[in-house]
Chain A
């Protein structure tokens, strides 16, 4: 994800300016700068799955439409610290949750933060069997292997791995984080046998997710609550 500085130990007399160099990448002998200037272009090979046409406004009660509008704005803005995530977008109805499930499926797999935000909202507001069913599908997905194209293998340079695996697994990790938080805050949830069985099944599915970061966390949660 990042290079923590390319420490090229050249002669100190060889100042970049003397060689007419303007960018660090001009000093390397590696591949030429592949920097793309077209920021609207789809990354080569990027997943084209689920690139549906813009979604029509979901069928929601009138009083929930502003909250949906807020959600769309927040997802588009890339500014995560919107207070509406904690106000307008908490304690949501079953219909709203259903709209979130659909929205999730409409997003590209590469939209890790957006997908993770939706998973976060559902898991934080965990209520119904439908919520658990939705979360189950998140752990049944194929893992995202590459930020530019989930289906492609990552050219993973350990030096560039600064948080990248967390981002690749972000929807799955956000879900587990909130499930853990909810079970901690609302232990009565596990007293419902059906809910308990659902959470158990969900965590077992997560334990089969290929990324160690995810399956170890799921196992840790299951053991923490004696499931």
Chain B
């Protein structure tokens, strides 16, 4: 009986990433990076959270993030996700609970928190009961805080009219922004680099929130005492 209990405890204490099914053709390097990234986030501890974070995730806490991910994504495959610079995608019609990673997941040198931002952004798209949090079209015109068009400096492609914005703080851009900002502020076992990275990427992503009132509400949320 004692051996059985020990075996059960051992089984339960294994990282839940052991329950994440990888397709057979997912290269070992991608698997190990994904497991390492999820392992990091699952061990995170926090000292508080903002109201929006509480609504979406509850606490800034590794187990919370682990549960959030595990209840949305059950398997991982490898695919080009349409090619280009894509790192990951979810195809809700194909399988809402499967995440597809590209080789860019390990080929591109992104900070770890940026990879996790993408993973949690995609996980949010698996929520079929919430319409998969489809993106909204960015408004026309879509201007930054200085009144200039939001666009790629390299190609000149404007974001206006593209399905690359969120109108709610609860969508994929909004929720991952809130998650990162809270990690930056409340994580108690993150080093200075991770907290800086979380802040940098959060403040980049908030620019995808196209409704000014929602963006301001998020900024107010981040400033909660």
Contact = CB atoms under 8 A, between A and B. Distances in A.
A and B held together in a complex: yes
Contacts of A31: 83
Interface in A121-179: 124, 145-148, 153-167, 170, 173-174, 177-178
A56 interface: no
Interface in A39-55: 39, 43
A212 interface: yes
Contacts of A62: none
Contacts of B33: 78
A5 B84 contact: no
A79 B194 CA distance: 10
A33 interface: yes
A177 B92 contact: no
Contacts, number: 217
B78 interface: yes
B205 A24 contact: no
B85 A1 contact: yes
A163 B152 contact: no
Given A163-B110, A167-B111, A34 B83 contact: yes
Given A154-B154, A163-B204, A25 B81 contact: yes
A154 B155 contact: yes
A114 B111 CA distance: 8
A37 interface: yes
B194 A80 contact: yes
A158 B137 CA distance: 11
Given A79-B112, A160-B86, A164-B85, A23 B79 contact: yes
B125 A177 contact: no
Contact of A213 (B87, B90, B204): B204
Interface stretch (A64-72, A82-90, A95-103, A194-202): A82-90
Given A23-B77, A81-B40, A159-B163, A5 B90 contact: yes
Interface stretch (B5-13, B14-22, B66-74, B96-104): B96-104
A116 B94 CA distance: 37
B191 A83 contact: yes
Nearest to A83: B191
A113 B85 CA distance: 16
B159 to A, nearest CB: 5
Contact of B109 (A25, A83, A112): A112
A192 to B, nearest CB: 24
A36 B194 CA distance: 30
Interface residues of B, number: 75
A95 B109 CA distance: 27
A106 B139 CA distance: 43
Nearest to B155: A156
A1 B82 contact: no
B118 A163 contact: yes
B87 A27 contact: no
B164 A79 contact: no
B80 A35 contact: yes
Contacts of A35: 78-80, 102-103
Given A148-B107, A170-B111, A7 B84 contact: no
B96 to A, nearest CB: 9
A16 B135 contact: no
A222 to B, nearest CB: 15
A183 interface: no
A156 to B, nearest CB: 4
A161 B85 CA distance: 8
Contacts of B125: 4-5
Given A27-B94, A153-B155, A34 B89 contact: no
Given A33-B79, A35-B79, A173-B200, A160 B155 contact: no
13 contacts: A3-B82, A5-B122, A5-B132, A24-B89, A112-B108, A147-B110, A161-B159, A162-B117, A162-B118, A167-B114, A174-B196, A212-B144, A216-B146
Given A25-B79, A35-B78, 12 more contacts: A4-B90, A4-B122, A4-B135, A16-B94, A39-B30, A79-B36, A80-B111, A81-B191, A124-B192, A147-B104, A163-B114, A163-B118
Across the A-B interface, the 7 shortest Cβ-Cβ residue pairs: A24-B91, A80-B112, A147-B108, A156-B152, A158-B162, A166-B204, A113-B109
